[in-house]
Structure 1
Amino acid sequence: MWKSGLLSALAIIACTPCWSAEPMHRSRIGDHVESFTLDNCYGKSVSLDDFSKAKAIAIVFLGTECPLAKLYGPRLTAIQEQYADRGVQIIGINSNTQDSLTELAAYVHRHEIGFPMLKDPGNRVADALAAERTPEVFLIDHERVVRYHGRIDDQYGVGYSKERDAKPELTIALDALLAGKQIEQPETEAVGCHIGRVKQTVPTGNVTFTKDIAPILNDKCVNCHRKGEIAPFTLTSYEDVLGWEDTILEVIADNRMPPWYADPAHGKFANDARLSARQRQLISTWVDNGMPEGDPNDLPAAPQFAEGWQIQQPDQVITMRDKPFSVPAEGVLDYQRFVVDPQWQEDQYIVSSEARPDKRDVVHHILVYVIPPGKSRRDLRQTLAGYAPGSPPLQLEDGIAIEVKAGSKLLFEMHYTPNGTATEDLSCVGFRFAKKADVRKRLGGRLAANTKFEIPAGAANHTVKATYVARQDENLLSMSPHMHLRGKSFRYDVRFPDGREDTLLNVPNYDFNWQLKYILDEPLTLPKGTQIECTAVFDNSEYNLTNPDPSQPVRWGDQSFEEMMIGFMDTVPVKDEF
């Protein structure tokens, strides 16, 4: 009946899984930086002594695949241009064992890096400075003494991107240093990926990549962490993993990867993405033992992914607009919406749909809604197709279909995540149709929504509720909580006509970056009159770092600086309709 959901994951920022921050082990302020000589990506030697006349030098550790390094590369170039006449020099250093000179050169060209980019074999300079992340800044004065250490600005944190203006901490430090003043905040927490260091541990033990780790990655990670997909680095081979092990351990320990936010105390879900306790232990043991590769004969077959349509050849393909949309190299883009007329002159019964991104490395999610005939706004209950990294297409069986009335239009809701390189996208959706005579049941999009709320300015725990009442006997298939940047938690509670009550889904730490569809392991029958109450909690305080403006009350609206409160659900009738 239900082969796969409309959408298994929505993500606003593809790269959030791979960066983090941690307290510094000790202050670097006042440390003296010894001279070093490294080759740039073209093999030319560059020495710190070459910049002896500089009044200030910002040494920045960068990686070619770290999403923050991609975003900050152009910003650092802009800072170099802005401060060059004032005697400032930026030097980029790549210490990652997993980044080759060829990849470093490609990074320089792709992101138009306007400062020296040097390779640090064996992470010698990174070790001397005790650098840990990419990007991470060491600002030194004319005497080569560290005066500022940390991040470039505070726009990004663990799993979020600030909607408010970022505090330009590096340039604030530069201005103070050049003016001979004390830097008010000389040290900040560096946010980014772990530097991939050369490991000193000799590989030992029976836990190997080929036998134990590759199957886990194939099952839980490779769907997104492969070439051409939105994840920031690939995990399809032993060589791919080397250098990323510290980051992998960190995001697993923090429960950020794989993304899954349901409280395990409530409900069983077919698409539960969590690693088991045994899988976590295997990965940890493997890294601790020096990451032995193992017997090549133990390596499982690589998972197969469709290169073309995952559904059968569509009966109709519709592009989101008549020309590509230009995605900038950086910045935060709000949702882009495009209305298309599919020219449906008669009612359509959709049994398969697939939203296909044109540029997978910047398309983070696609939702295709119905705008009913004669209406100007979308019907939130009718979502025809969805895409997010790793999500399957919609494929309905056993005579189940989505009914769309003649004359309807489609609304493409697109969310893009700039990755440091400007590009153009022209995504599309494909549909397969059934004849009405072959349809037994219609898939229904249900929702518990509240559009009349107001979240007070500064409120840290504002509760909003909404209730859905089943008007017929139906089977609940999935639930998808939806809020925007102030969303804090979301819960679905059911009350049956006979008085029984239960919690169907609890998401105690809602993450706008990863809005998941939770597909029930087994459909739940909702007798007529069953009530599903959704409870959402919002944080409109200054302590919510993603909050665009905590000084203002917030009401319902489409854009992320506004808010929504919707408990989406998919159901089918218990009895045949046709």
Structure 2
Amino acid sequence: MWKTGLVAAAWFVLSCPNCRSADAKNDAPSHLGQHVESFTLDNCYGKAVSLDDFESAHAIAIVYLGTECPLAKLYGPRLSDIQRKYADRGVQIIGINSNKQDSLTEMAAYVHRHEIGFPMLKDPGNRVADAMGAQRTPEVFLLDRDRIVQYHGRIDDQYGVGYAKERDAKPELTLAIDALLGGELIQTPETEAVGCYIGRAQEVEPTGNVTFNKDIAPIFNNRCVNCHRDGEIAPFTLTSYDDVLGWEDTILEVIADNRMPPWYADPQHGTFANDARLSETERDLIETWIDNGMPQGDPRDLPAAPEFAVGWQMPQPDEVFPMRDKPFAVPAEGIVDYQHYVVDPGWKEDKYIVAAEARPDKRGVVHHILVYVIPPGANKRDFRQVVAGYAPGLPPLELTDGVALEVKAGSKLLFEMHYTPNGSPTDDRSYLGVKFTDKANVRKRLRGRLAVDQKFKIPPGVSDHEVKAAYVARQDENLISLTPHMHLRGKSFRYDATFPDGRQQTLLSVPNYDFNWQLKYVLKEPLTLPKGTLVQCTAVFDNSEGNMTNPDPSKTVTWGDQSFEEMMIGFMDTVPVTDEF
């Protein structure tokens, strides 16, 4: 009837699942007051650069960066702006790359792509990083004229583990620079650096029977490679042994924190076909392999690489519709409001869609796509009719066994586009592909169902504001999937069913809702909802100061399209139990 795919270990810059505070793994000692000895390293073009070359500088900000870390990409241009702003005041920024996985060619590409305006140096064997005690990318050490660390930590507080603040960021580095140049006390001399682990040179001799080729490659192929491969949104590839080297600490961290693979359903409720969680056996194998020094193993044990569709994942579409005539310019950084584009497909007769795919043009910046139907004669989308959706790892819509999505003649399409900047200005022109069947081939229509509240008001400063909405089945139908939807203040979401015989069942519980992952939870087996079944959705919102993604905790929040507003929708897909045609 329908096809599902495993939601792979995908990644959005805003969720930054490999990012963590510098001291999260170990309680590291303070770096304040540390004297930094001179060093000489080659830049990305092979020219030697010494710390002594900048002896006349009043202040030096040494920043550890990586070519693939999402935050290093975002902060590269911001650091260049700081360099330009403070250059005539005797401030010098120096970038250091200590990652064993980053080559000089990749560094040069990073410098060019992000228009880096300061020296970028390669630290082979992480010698300088070890001497300074650096752990993350990006991580800042601000030195005075005597090369004493006066500030250590992050550049600003816009990004954290799983969030990006829409409020103004506190510019901690520039505040420290201003205080240092003015001879004043730095008010906050040490902050927690947030970013990727530095990929250090391996210290453990590879040993043991758990190997990449035999044990780990199959796990990555099944769980991760769909997104961690060239051209996809994930910031580094996991398609070969060499790709993994340098990312082992990050891999351990995101697995331990349940940030990767992305999956938020409480396992006590419901069984889902696209459950992305690693099994305990898979977790143990990965941890053992890394602890044992990551042996590669016998080349004969390496499985064949998975094959992915080139171009369309769905069957070749009958029609393709771009979101608009010209691309949308995604900025290098910042928060981008939802973009909405209406497309007239020119359909003069009812259409029966059996496959649809929302396809991003530039996957590195597309957070998600939803394509809704605007019914004929209407000027608003019908939330019950979603033609296609895109999020990393989400398979396209493919319907079989006589099931189709009916779209009435004269309908229009609304593209809802959500972008996440990745450090480089990017032009995107995403599109939709659809495939049809004749009405004579259709037995049942796929129906979108909703539990929705558009009249809520979330008071300012409240951390646990509950909103409920319900859907009542008007016929016997089979429930196929559940998709909770809220915006930046969303905290948790639950679907509870009360059947006509009085039975109650929690269908899905998402105790820690994450706006960055628009996940559809596909039931492993369809659940019959007899006529009269009540499905109640309960959403909890956090409009407090403690919610770091909250754009403005001082405002009452109501329904709206943009992420700084809110929505409360419990999407459901159903098909009738009996044939309709």
> What displacement does 1:22 show?
4.0
Please point out which of 262, 265, 269 is paired with 1:259: 262
Query: Which position in structure 2 is the counterpart of 1:167?
Result: 170
SS at match of 2:17: helix
Deviations 1:188-222 (A, max 9, x none): 00000000000110000000000000000000000
Query: Any stretches of 5+ residues in structure 1 without a counterpart?
Result: none
Query: Which position in structure 2 is the counterpart of 1:284?
Result: 287
AA aligned opposite 1:17: P
AA aligned opposite 1:281: D
Please point out which of 77, 80, 84 is paired with 1:77: 80
Task: Say if 1:383 and 1:445, in contact at 8 Å, map to a contact too.
Answer: yes
After the TM superposition, which of the residue ranges 396-405 and 5-14 deviates more from structure 2? 5-14
Task: Say if 2:153 and 2:190, in contact at 8 Å, map to a contact too.
Answer: yes
Query: Which position in structure 2 is the counterpart of 1:479?
Result: 482
Task: Say if 2:6 and 2:274, in contact at 8 Å, map to a contact too.
Answer: no
Please point out which of 351, 375, 380 is paired with 2:378: 375
Say if 2:324 is the partner of 1:321.
Answer: yes
Deviations 1:416-446 (A, max 9, x none): 1111111211111111111111111000000
SS at match of 1:455: coil
Say if 2:6 is the partner of 1:20.
Answer: no
Deviations 1:7-59 (A, max 9, x none): 99997646612211143511000010000000001111100000000000000
> What displacement does 1:364 show?
2.1
Q: Measure, in 2, the Cα distance between the counterparts of 1:13 and 1:199.
A: 27
AA aligned opposite 1:18: N
Task: Say if 1:556 and 1:564, in contact at 8 Å, map to a contact too.
Answer: yes
Percent identical pairs in the alignment equals 76
SS at match of 2:3: strand
Q: Measure, in 2, the Cα distance between the counterparts of 1:7 and 1:479.
A: 14
Task: Say if 1:12 and 1:512, in contact at 8 Å, map to a contact too.
Answer: no
Q: TM-score, normalised by structure 2?
A: 0.98
Task: Say if 1:352 and 1:396, in contact at 8 Å, map to a contact too.
Answer: yes
Say if 2:544 is the partner of 1:574.
Answer: no
> What displacement does 1:560 show?
0.6
Query: Which position in structure 2 is the counterpart of 1:213?
Result: 216
Say if 2:7 is the partner of 1:4.
Answer: no
SS at match of 2:373: strand
Q: Measure, in 2, the Cα distance between the counterparts of 1:530 and 1:5.
A: 29
Query: Which position in structure 2 is the counterpart of 1:399?
Result: 402
Q: Measure, in 1, the Cα distance between the counterparts of 2:422 and 2:518.
A: 20
Q: Measure, in 2, the Cα distance between the counterparts of 1:67 and 1:360.
A: 14
Matches within 5 A, 1:35-184: 35-184=38-187
Q: Measure, in 2, the Cα distance between the counterparts of 1:15 and 1:506.
A: 20
Task: Say if 1:8 and 1:518, in contact at 8 Å, map to a contact too.
Answer: no
Please point out which of 523, 543, 548 is paired with 1:545: 548
Q: Measure, in 2, the Cα distance between the counterparts of 1:17 and 1:459.
A: 27
Please point out which of 331, 336, 339 is paired with 1:336: 339
AA aligned opposite 2:17: P
SS at match of 2:518: strand
Say if 2:345 is the partner of 1:353.
Answer: no
Task: Say if 2:10 and 2:393, in contact at 8 Å, map to a contact too.
Answer: no
Query: Which position in structure 2 is the counterpart of 1:233?
Result: 236
Query: Which position in structure 2 is the counterpart of 1:274?
Result: 277
Say if 2:443 is the partner of 1:430.
Answer: no
> What displacement does 1:515 show?
2.2
AA aligned opposite 1:290: G
Structure 1 pair 146–132 and aligned structure 2 pair: CA distance change class (3 A): same
AA aligned opposite 2:549: T
Deviations 1:503-541 (A, max 9, x none): 111000001011211000000000000000000000000
Please point out which of 232, 240, 245 is paired with 1:242: 245
SS at match of 1:271: coil
Task: Say if 1:139 and 1:149, in contact at 8 Å, map to a contact too.
Answer: yes
Q: TM-score, normalised by structure 1?
A: 0.98
Query: Which position in structure 1 is the counterpart of 2:193?
Result: 190
Q: Measure, in 2, the Cα distance between the counterparts of 1:154 and 1:233.
A: 24
SS at match of 1:492: strand
Q: Measure, in 1, the Cα distance between the counterparts of 2:126 and 2:8.
A: 39
SS at match of 1:18: coil
Structure 1 pair 450–6 and aligned structure 2 pair: CA distance change class (3 A): farther
After the TM superposition, which of the residue ranges 20-29 and 98-107 deviates more from structure 2? 20-29
Q: Measure, in 1, the Cα distance between the counterparts of 2:22 and 2:519.
A: 27
> What displacement does 1:336 show?
1.0
> What displacement does 1:4 show?
3.0
Q: Measure, in 2, the Cα distance between the counterparts of 1:140 and 1:250.
A: 30
Task: Say if 2:100 and 2:199, in contact at 8 Å, map to a contact too.
Answer: yes
Task: Say if 1:55 and 1:88, in contact at 8 Å, map to a contact too.
Answer: yes
AA aligned opposite 2:53: D
AA aligned opposite 1:521: K
SS at match of 1:106: helix
Q: Measure, in 2, the Cα distance between the counterparts of 1:288 and 1:296.
A: 21
Q: Measure, in 1, the Cα distance between the counterparts of 2:245 and 2:478.
A: 46
SS at match of 2:393: coil
Task: Say if 1:466 and 1:534, in contact at 8 Å, map to a contact too.
Answer: yes
Q: Measure, in 1, the Cα distance between the counterparts of 2:216 and 2:21.
A: 26
Task: Say if 2:489 and 2:541, in contact at 8 Å, map to a contact too.
Answer: yes
Query: Which position in structure 1 is the counterpart of 2:314?
Result: 311
After the TM superposition, which of the residue ranges 172-181 and 3-12 deviates more from structure 2? 3-12
Structure 1 pair 10–346 and aligned structure 2 pair: CA distance change class (3 A): farther
> What displacement does 1:309 show?
1.5
AA aligned opposite 1:214: A
Query: Which position in structure 1 is the counterpart of 2:520?
Result: 517
Q: Measure, in 2, the Cα distance between the counterparts of 1:523 and 1:54.
A: 67
The total of aligned residue pairs comes to 578
Runs of 4+ in structure 1 off by over 6 angstroms are: 5-11
Please point out which of 387, 398, 404 is paired with 1:384: 387
AA aligned opposite 1:227: D
Structure 1 pair 246–150 and aligned structure 2 pair: CA distance change class (3 A): same
Please point out which of 206, 223, 228 is paired with 1:203: 206
Q: Measure, in 1, the Cα distance between the counterparts of 2:455 and 2:29.
A: 50
